[in-house]
Structure 1
Amino acid sequence: MRLSTNMIYQQNMDAVLDGQNRFQATGLQLSTGSKVSKPSDDPLAA
């Protein structure tokens, strides 16, 4: 299978966005002092 430039770009952008989302979630946990910030984070702990 050939990998086009668009496919490689999209995979890299997905990885960057995933990293940003994880970074934001960690920052929210640090700023609130809680692992759960909304019920959907962990339904059993909420």
Structure 2
Amino acid sequence: MNYKQLWKLEEICRHSKDGFSIGSRLLIILGVVVCLYAANVSRSG
């Protein structure tokens, strides 16, 4: 997942605030954080 995709996700969330609850946004953010953390761990070995 690259930054352009993240930007699109954030844009979608902003445009459909009624469709996306705060919980959904938190889940997306949490997933991104976990992905970044996993990438860092695998990189450091």
- Please report the TM-score for the alignment, with normalisation by the length of structure 1: 0.58
Over the aligned positions, Cα root-mean-square deviation in angstroms equals 0.9
Query: Matched residue pairs, number?
Result: 28
Q: Which runs of 5+ in 2 are unaligned?
A: 1-15
Instruction: List structure 1 segments (4+ residues) > 6 angstroms apart after TM superposition.
Output: none
Using the aligned pairs only, state the percent identity.
Answer: 7
Deviation, structure 1 residue 7: 0.2
- Please report the TM-score for the alignment, with normalisation by the length of structure 2: 0.59
Higher RCO (C-alpha 8 Å, min separation 6): 2
Q: Which runs of 5+ in 1 are unaligned?
A: 29-46
